[in-house]
A and B are shown apart, each in its own frame.
Chain A
Amino acid sequence: MLEIRDVHKSFGKNEILKGVDLTVDKGDVVVILGPSGSGKTTLLRCINFLERADKGTATFGDLNVDLHSASKKEVLAVRKKSAFVFQNYNLFNNKTAIENVAEGLIIGRKVPKEEAYKISRDALDKVGLSNKYDSYPSQLSGGQQQRVGIARAVALNPDVILFDEPTSALDPELVGEVLEVMKDIAREGTTMIVVTHEMGFAKDVAKKVIFMDGGNIIEEGTPHEIFVTPKEERTRRFLRRVLPGEYDFEI
C-alpha cells in the first residue's frame, strides 16, 4: 500500500540517499536501523516532503507522486495520508495538548470542531493522557510530550505514521511509557515506519526490519532474519556494536 522507489538525495556534494526502495503493507510495522548519518531521518523527511528528494517516487494506495517534482497539491495530499512523529516532539508550543491534536483535524482536514475535539480526546485517552487535555507542552514531561505527539499523529488516522527516533531524546526512565504506547497502536493495526535504536521494540513489534548504511538499504528481512541470521557483514558489525552482549560469541 506504500511503495517508495529509487529515492536519491544529496546535500551539496554529499550524497545521502543513493536509491532507496521501500515497500510497506497495510498494518505492518517496518523498523529502520542503521548507524548515525546513514540517511534514516532524511528518508523519512523525503517521504513527507519535509525535504525534497532529487529523484524518486511514492505510491500511497491510489496516490502516485514524484518525490522530486510533486506539486503543492500533491504534497498536501501525501501529508494528509501520512503523519510524522518527531525526535524532539515538536509540539506546537502555543497550543494545549488537545489543541495540538485537533489542529491538523480542524485546519488541515476541515473536520468540524466538535467532532475534531472528540477524536482528539479519544486519541489522548489512548496514550494515557486523559488528565492532560489542557496542559501546554511546557507543562509536560518529555514522555508526556511525545505521547501527545503520537496522539496528534494517530488522531489524523493516516495511512502510515512515520516515527523518527521517537524515544532517543527522552530520559531513560521515560522511554518505556512511549514504547508501550507505540506497541498499543501497532497492535491495533496502524501502519508504521519507525526509525529507532530500540532493538527490543524492533524484535517484538516489527514485521520487517531494514538495515541502512551509507545511504543504501544493506539488508532487510524479518526480525529473526536480521537479528539472528544476518547475511551481510555490515549488518553483523552494526549489531555487535549496538547489542554487545548478544553477539559476543562472534568476536
Chain B
Amino acid sequence: MDSSLINVEFLIDTFFVALSGVPIALLVTVVALAIALPIGFFLALTRINEIPVLNGFTKVYVSFVRGTPIIIQIFVLYSILPLILSRIFEQYNIDFPIYDVNPLWYAFIIFSFNTGATLVEVFRSALKTVSAGQLEAAYSVGLSTAQAYRRIVIPQMLVSAMPNLCTATINLIKATSLGYAISLQEITLKAKVAANVGYNYLEAYIDIFIVYLILCITVEYLFKVAEKRLSRYKALATA
C-alpha cells in the first residue's frame, strides 16, 4: 500500500476516467438546453404578455423548480415517471420494459425540466430590456410578429440574456454531476467508481474538480466571445 498522501499514478489515470464522462455530461447539457431554450422563451412570452392559464401555469412551474433542490426533483421524477408510464403502457397493453430504460433519458427530461424554469426568468428579464417600440417599429414597416421577433427582438434580447444564460449553462453542467444518483455514466460517477476499488477518493475528487473547472472555464470563455459578437452594435458606440 502506498503511504503517501496522494497516489499520483491513480490521480493521473483517474483523470482520464473522469474525462471519459465529459461526453455524457455535455450531451445532457446540450440536449437539456436545446429543449429548455424554446420552452423557457415561449413561457417567458406567456408571462410577459400575461396569457391567461399559461401565465399561471408558468408561475407555478417556476416556483416549484426554484423552491426544491435538484436532487429531490431528480428522485421524484425518477420514481414517478416510470410509475405513470407503466400505468399508461398497461392500459394500452404495450409491452415496454420501462424499468430498463437508459438513465440518460431521465437525465434529459429532468434537466430540461429544471433548466426550463431557470430560463423562463432569464428570458423574462431579458425581454423587458427590449422596448415595446422596437416591436412596434417592426410592425410599422410590415413585419409579421414572427419576423419581428426573429430579426429584431430576439437578437437584442439575447445580448442582455447572455450573462445569465452563461450562468444557467454552467449551473447545468455542474448539476449533471447529480446524475450519479440515477447511475448516469457521467464524470462524477465514473471517477467515483474508479475510486471505489482502492478507496482513492481524494484523488478522484481532485480529478472531478479539475474536469468541471476546465469545462466551466471553457464554456464561460465561449459565452464571452459570443456575447462580444452579438453586442457588436453596442460596443461600437463607445469606440
Contact = CB atoms under 8 A, between A and B. Distances in A.
- The answer to whether A and B assemble together is yes
Interface of A: 48-50, 76, 79-80, 82-84, 86, 88, 90-96, 103-104, 107-109, 136, 138-139, 152, 156
B128 interface: no
B233 A93 contact: yes
A102 B236 CA distance: 21
B134 A90 contact: yes
User: SS class of chain B's interface: helix, strand, loop or mixed?
Assistant: helix
Contact of B137 (A49, A84, A156): A84
B112 to A, nearest CB: 29
Contacts of A109: 142
Given A104-B143, A136-B233, A139-B236, A90 B152 contact: no
A103 B141 contact: yes
B134 to A, nearest CB: 6
**On chain B, which size bracket covers the interface?**
20 to 34
A107 to B, nearest CB: 6
Contacts of B152: 92, 94-95, 103
B136 A50 contact: yes
Contacts of B140: 48, 50, 79, 82-84, 86
A104 B151 CA distance: 11
Given A92-B152, A103-B141, A138 B236 contact: yes
A90 B133 contact: yes
B140 to A, nearest CB: 4
B155 interface: yes
A139 B152 CA distance: 18
Among all A-B residue pairs, the 6 with the closest Cβ atoms? A108-B142, A104-B141, A138-B237, A90-B133, A90-B137, A84-B140
A156 B142 contact: yes
B147 to A, nearest CB: 6
A152 B155 CA distance: 20
23 contacts: A48-B139, A48-B140, A49-B139, A79-B142, A82-B140, A83-B140, A84-B140, A86-B133, A86-B140, A90-B131, A90-B134, A94-B159, A95-B152, A103-B143, A103-B151, A104-B142, A104-B143, A108-B141, A136-B234, A138-B233, A139-B236, A156-B141, A156-B142
